[in-house]
């Protein structure tokens, strides 16, 4: 099972995402932002980092990279796509996910081990979890505050598009404690926290993040 | 039209007045430059000599003392020693590790965010230059009183700058120090450490060899930032519309540096360079003269080819600019195209600016005219060396006689507990989460231990599980009372911090922060600290791999307390056996290793409770440190301990607090002897461990010659010390963690949370 990981200039957690895919039993495939080549992958991860130094707006320039045109086109046909942190920002900027990520309400970069509640365990990236399950994975961002107009938030909640909410404290002032959302078909998921940093007991606060990557391997087989 | 001061013109106008004093050169130094060149220097040459002969670049006051480090017995582990950008150490399995600390103190006071950010950027490039992939950073910070208004200006900016740069670069911040003292009010210290890893065969050196090889400048464009005294030269031009005086603090762009790192690593992997040097202090002047000086000596540069951000820069300014994120490489002509292709891939600007030449002159042309023609060694390596006068501080006897042991001590259990809470909730003792939360500790996925652990531990091989441990320590109160002993105590603490993680200490680096070398008393402190550190390293059998000296940390007549920050690197054969510092499980036995004496000189207790600094620092016993280190390594290897935490500033009270609060597990503790001494003495060579096999540990400790005292058993949600009121962890955590947010934290929600409909795209 081939899972592509896109490297943009300024991507940082691409090595971590590749490790997570490998530990879950998949084959990580390095993808380069400037090439129109998805290399026949079965799913794509947009990793965390500071693509283009967060210039203009976080994720705004990367969302217009050549490879992103292919990602958007294939995502609309059901290719599973996961955006983590900066990857989530890119997905919002690319129009694959709703909403926007703005400067944390307290104006600081914040890195902590965060409790999340899984609101939907039926997306391509969350099958391994149960609805309502609490998981602990790191959060680390300076611009992670999820916002949208109230009417849009109502609609997203009505459509059951919220995948994760922050619990035991909201680290960045996100509206309605939203940590991650999904596309209408549940194939594209974006979240600010970092599941790829919670895949080994040795280096993470838990191994709760591994489920993202085992989920997509099963989702791809089922599809 | 600006009149350019060429070599030809300099020869014809020997009597032109030059502003060498404004550039920081002394009369005899200027005379020496004229002597070397056989004429007056050109404006560009004068600028080059002035920055390269500055204290910062030439180490002219410290060199005679630092030579002691070179006299230490040779170490098998040392692959590259002092003199290169950073020392390189063999950590086994063919891996080499390079690490170094550097100060960026003065810029951080002027412009806290950019000063600290570019401090991180600079040390990362030093590590990259050695051929290594940078894998982690640490920071050692000092500020004035925590409640001083200026600290509220400087600290948040520095922390945001360290985080902003390191986070964007993708380097985990694995530890460091944050301490406060009145003496740093006008002189905060920002010392940044970077560590990198490579294979032995990948080590690169900064030298220009091979006549005809090209000199390539790559990375950011050159701008007017970071030009200090050189702006004086602008007034020398005849152009009334000439460039304005420029800011002398550099501005960082971590995104460009990240691209530079990836491009460099790809260039190294394809073996495209014969020599490489980063551009830091003194910019192109430093890089070209050092590369040429370390090589065969000849180099020519066409300054017109340097890509500029500001076309009004004068040649002297281009040579001096400290614009960040630039590197200089020596490349064989046949490999230039391949080199430029890698740079294009990473959107890194790269330009051939010159070549390695026959002979031993560094020449620089501007608009076809020669503006620099110098022997590079005289610029880079043969600067002035001073044996500054030294004098033992006149107040030292009185200070040492003012014994902290005579201070009033707490008499009741309630008083003891109040002092305990005061020490651990003081800005030095308090929870540092407010700071460390602003740093990414997870990126790259190899961080095994990070702050608040005693040492940062990073895995360097995912298959063999080999890893490294690093600690930075710099207690300045001890060094003020006795710089020789103080430097050794800092060495001992960093050594111990690496050892408690289960690592074997391997090598030492340092960042020596002192006042003005022109003050004999400061120079004495410096010499004593260096002597103490060298003697300590000899006794522990560790090499000094390099270091950094920051002088002139003083405001008016008042120097900072001598602050030798010492870094120790250790190796873990298997990071899975690392020992963390916090208590996790109930029912484990708590043991104290080492001997506790009545040692309060320079202690946190004396400082916090009495505002007192006096007496003698704790005694140093490096044999005991070594035995303790070997014992901790053995116990870690055997898996006999579940946690280990060193005892240092704040004594046992601080250690117990941190161990218990790490995971919220309390303990019942019985102290032997005088409870005040047991809790607040800062005797060295001590650590607290927990174990499920106290018998086994005691036997091993006995064999290792380390004294053991049983303290109690973990469990419950309080620290219950016999004879003291029980201290609930919730209460302890509340006071311990409230201090820094109360001083520096803002509101959680600083802006209203309504988003107008239609402003955010939804799909």
- Closest-CA distance of chain A to residue B431, Å: 14
B525 domain residue, yes or no: no
CA distances from B758 to A154, B91, B561, B647 (A): 14, 57, 58, 58
| CATH number of the domain where residue B279 is located | 3.90.650.10
Q: DSSP string covering B730-752, please?
A: HHHHHHHHHHHHHHH---S--S-
Residue B303 belongs to a domain: yes
How big is the CA angle at B579 (ends A168 and B684), to the nearest 5 degrees? 110
pLDDT at position B237 is 41
B663 is an active site residue: no
Q: How many residue contacts between A and B have a Cβ separation below 8 Å?
A: 141
Q: Please compute the mean of the pLDDT values over residues A166-191 and round it to a whole number.
A: 97
* DSSP summary character for residue B282: B
Task: List the one residue out of B346, B341, B186 whose CA is nearest residue B260.
Answer: B346
In the predicted model, is pLDDT for residue B239 greater than 50? no
- pLDDT value, residue B670: 97
Task: Give the count of domains, chain B.
Answer: 2
Residues of A in contact with B577 (CB under 8 A): none
Nearest to A110 among B437, B750, B761 (CB): B437
Nearest to B535 by CA among B488, B490, B496: B488
**B69 contact partners, CB below 8 Å, separation of at least 6:** B82, B530, B533, B534, B537, B544, B547
Q: Does B252 touch chain A (CB under 8 A)?
A: no
> B43-52 and B27-37 helices cross at what angle (nearest 10)?
120
> Is B34 among the domain residues?
yes
φ, ψ dihedrals at A17, nearest 5°: -65, -40
Contacts of A107 in chain B (CB under 8 A): 746, 750
* Record: fold of A2-222: Rossmann fold (3.40.50)
The closest of B55, B58, B119, B100 to B250, measured between CA atoms, is: B119
Q: What are the φ and ψ backbone dihedral angles of A93, each rounded to 5 degrees?
A: -65, -30
What are residue B590's phi and psi, to 5 degrees? -100, 125
Q: Is the pLDDT of residue B579 over 70?
A: yes
Burial profile B441-472: b = 16 or more Cβ within 10 angstroms, e = fewer: bbbbbbbbbbbbbbbbbbbbbeeebbbbbbbb
Cβ atoms of A41 and A2 within 8 Å: the answer is yes
> Which residues 319-348 in chain B show a CB within 8 A of chain A?
346-347
pTM, rounded to two decimals:
0.95
Q: Identify the band that residue B763 occupies on the pLDDT scale cut at 50, 70 and 90.
A: low
Q: Distance (Å) from the C-alpha of residue B435 to the closest C-alpha of chain A?
A: 9
Tell me what pLDDT residue B234 has.
46
Q: Which of B380, B410, B438 is the last residue of a domain?
A: B380
CA distance B163 to A110: 10
- pLDDT exceeds cutoff 70 at B229: no
Distance, CA of B733 to CA of B737 (rounded, Å): 6
Give tens-digit pLDDT for A40-94: 999 999 999 999 999 999 999 999 999 999 999 999 999 999 999 999 999 999 9
* Spatial distance between the Cα atoms of B595 and B708, rounded to a whole number of angstroms: 8
CA dihedral sign, ordered B11, B14, B16, B17: positive
High-pLDDT (> 70) share of chain B, %: 96
Q: Is the residue at B216 inside a domain?
A: yes
Element containing residue B33 per DSSP (H, E): helix B27-37
Number of other CB atoms surrounding residue B211 within 10 Å? 12
Chain B residues with beta carbon closer than 8 angstroms to that of A48: 443
Residue B136: is its pLDDT beyond 60?
Answer: yes
pLDDT digits (tens, 9 = 90+) for B407-434: 999 999 999 999 999 999 999 999 999 9
Q: What is the pLDDT of residues B352-368, one digit of tens each?
A: 999 999 999 999 999 99
Question: Domain range for residue B594?
Answer: 420-425+580-742
Q: A86 contacts in B (CB within 8 Å)? A: none
Starting at the earlier edge strand, list the strands of the sheet with B173-180: B78-80, B87-92, B95-103, B189-199, B133-143, B173-180
């Amino acid at each position: 099972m081939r899972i592509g990981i896109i490297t943009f200039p300024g991507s940082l957690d691409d090595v971590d995402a590749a490790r997570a895919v490998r530990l879950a039993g998949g084959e990580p495939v390095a993808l380069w932002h400037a090439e129109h080549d998805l290399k026949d992958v079965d799913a794509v991860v947009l990793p965390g980092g500071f693509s283009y130094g967060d210039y203009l707006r976080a994720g705004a320039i990367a969302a217009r990279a050549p490879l992103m045109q292919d990602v958007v086109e294939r995502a609309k046909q059901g290719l599973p796509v996961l955006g983590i942190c900066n990857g989530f920002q890119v997905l919002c900027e690319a129009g694959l996910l709703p909403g926007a990520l703005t400067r944390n309400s307290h104006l600081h970069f914040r890195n902590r081990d965060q409790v999340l509640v899984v609101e939907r365990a039926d997306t391509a990236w969350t099958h391994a979890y149960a609805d309502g399950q609490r998981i602990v994975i790191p959060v680390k961002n300076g611009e992670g505050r999820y916002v949208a107009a109230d009417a849009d938030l109502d609609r997203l909640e009505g459509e059951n598009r919220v995948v994760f909410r922050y619990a035991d404290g909201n680290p960045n002032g996100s509206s309605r404690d939203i940590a991650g959302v999904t596309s209408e078909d549940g194939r594209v998921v974006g979240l600010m926290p970092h599941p790829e940093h919670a895949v080994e007991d040795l280096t993470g606060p838990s191994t709760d993040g591994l489920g993202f990557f085992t989920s997509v391997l099963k989702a791809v087989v089922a599809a | 039209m600006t009149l350019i001061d060429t070599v030809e013109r300099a020869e014809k106008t020997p009597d032109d007045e030059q502003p060498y004093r404004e550039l920081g050169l002394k009369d005899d130094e200027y005379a020496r430059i004229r002597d070397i060149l056989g004429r007056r220097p050109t404006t560009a040459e004068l600028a080059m000599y002035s920055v390269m002969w500055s204290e910062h670049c030439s180490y002219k006051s410290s060199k005679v003392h630092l030579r002691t480090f070179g006299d230490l017995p040779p170490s098998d582990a040392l692959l590259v020693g002092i003199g290169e950008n950073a020392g390189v150490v063999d950590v086994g399995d063919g891996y080499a590790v390079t690490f170094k600390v550097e100060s960026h103190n003065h810029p951080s006071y002027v412009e806290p965010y950019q000063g600290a950010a570019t401090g991180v950027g600079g040390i990362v490039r030093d590590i990259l230059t050695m051929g290594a992939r940078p894998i982690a950073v640490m920071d050692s910070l000092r500020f004035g009183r925590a409640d001083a208004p200026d600290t509220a200006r400087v600290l948040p900016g520095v922390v945001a700058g360290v985080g902003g740069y390191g986070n964007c670069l993708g380097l985990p911040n694995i530890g460091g120090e944050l301490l406060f003292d009145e003496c740093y009010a006008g002189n905060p210290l920002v010392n940044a450490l970077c560590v990198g890893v490579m294979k032995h065969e990948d080590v690169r050196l900064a030298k220009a060899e091979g006549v005809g090889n090209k000199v390539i400048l790559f990375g950011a464009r050159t701008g007017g930032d970071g030009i200090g005294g050189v702006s004086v030269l602008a007034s020398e031009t005849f152009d009334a519309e000439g460039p304005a005086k420029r800011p002398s603090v550099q501005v960082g762009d971590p995104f460009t540096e990240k691209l530079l790192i990836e491009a460099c690593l790809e260039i190294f992997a394809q073996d495209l360079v014969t020599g490489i040097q980063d551009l830091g202090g003194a910019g192109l002047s430093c890089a070209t003269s050092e590369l040429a000086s370390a090589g065969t000596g000849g180099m020519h540069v066409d300054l017109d080819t340097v890509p500029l951000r500001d076309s009004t820069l004068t040649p002297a300014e281009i040579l001096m600019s400290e614009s960040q994120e630039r590197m200089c490489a020596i490349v064989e002509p046949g490999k230039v195209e391949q080199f430029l292709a890698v740079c294009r891939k990473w959107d890194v600007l790269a330009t051939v600016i010159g070549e390695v030449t026959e002979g031993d002159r560094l020449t620089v042309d501007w608009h076809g005219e020669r503006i620099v023609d110098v022997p590079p060694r005289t610029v880079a390596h043969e600067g002035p060396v001073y044996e500054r006068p030294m004098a033992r501080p006149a107040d030292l006897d009185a200070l040492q006689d003012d014994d902290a042991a005579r201070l009033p001590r707490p008499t009741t259990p309630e008083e003891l507990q109040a002092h305990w809470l005061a020490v651990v909730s003081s800005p030095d003792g308090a929870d540092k989460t407010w700071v460390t939360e602003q740093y990414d500790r997870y990126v790259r996925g190899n961080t095994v231990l990070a702050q608040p652990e005693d040492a940062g531990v990073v895995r360097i091989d995912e298959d063999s599980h080999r890893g490294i441990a690093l600690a930075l320590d710099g207690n300045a109160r001890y060094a003020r009372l006795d710089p020789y002993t103080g430097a050794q105590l800092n060495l001992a603490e960093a050594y111990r911090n690496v050892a408690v993680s289960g690592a074997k200490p391997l090598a030492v680096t340092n960042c020596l922060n002192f006042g003005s070398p022109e003050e004999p008393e400061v120079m004495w402190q410096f010499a004593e600290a260096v002597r103490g550190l060298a003697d300590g390293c000899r006794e522990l059998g560790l090499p000094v791999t390099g270091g950094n000296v920051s002088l002139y940390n003083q405001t008016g007549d008042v120097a900072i307390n001598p602050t030798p920050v010492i870094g120790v690197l250790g190796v873990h054969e298997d990071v899975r056996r690392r020992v963390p510092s916090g208590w996790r499980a109930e029912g484990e036995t708590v043991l104290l290793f080492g001997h506790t004496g009545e040692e309060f000189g320079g202690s946190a207790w004396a400082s916090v409770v009495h505002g007192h600094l006096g007496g003698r620092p704790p005694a140093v016993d490096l044999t005991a440190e070594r035995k303790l280190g070997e014992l901790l390594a053995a116990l870690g290897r055997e898996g006999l301990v579940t946690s280990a935490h060193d005892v240092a500033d704040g004594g046992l009270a601080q250690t117990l607090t941190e161990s218990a609060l790490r995971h919220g597990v309390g303990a019942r503790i019985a102290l032997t002897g005088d409870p005040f001494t047991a809790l607040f003495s800062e005797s060295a060579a001590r650590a607290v461990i927990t174990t499920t096999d106290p018998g086994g540990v005691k036997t091993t400790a006995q064999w290792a010659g380390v004294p053991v005292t049983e303290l109690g058993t973990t469990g419950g949600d309080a620290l219950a010390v016999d004879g003291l009121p029980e201290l609930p962890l919730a209460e302890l955590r509340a006071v311990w963690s409230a201090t820094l947010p109360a001083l520096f934290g803002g509101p959680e929600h600083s802006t209203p949370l309504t988003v107008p409909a239609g402003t955010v795209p939804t799909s």
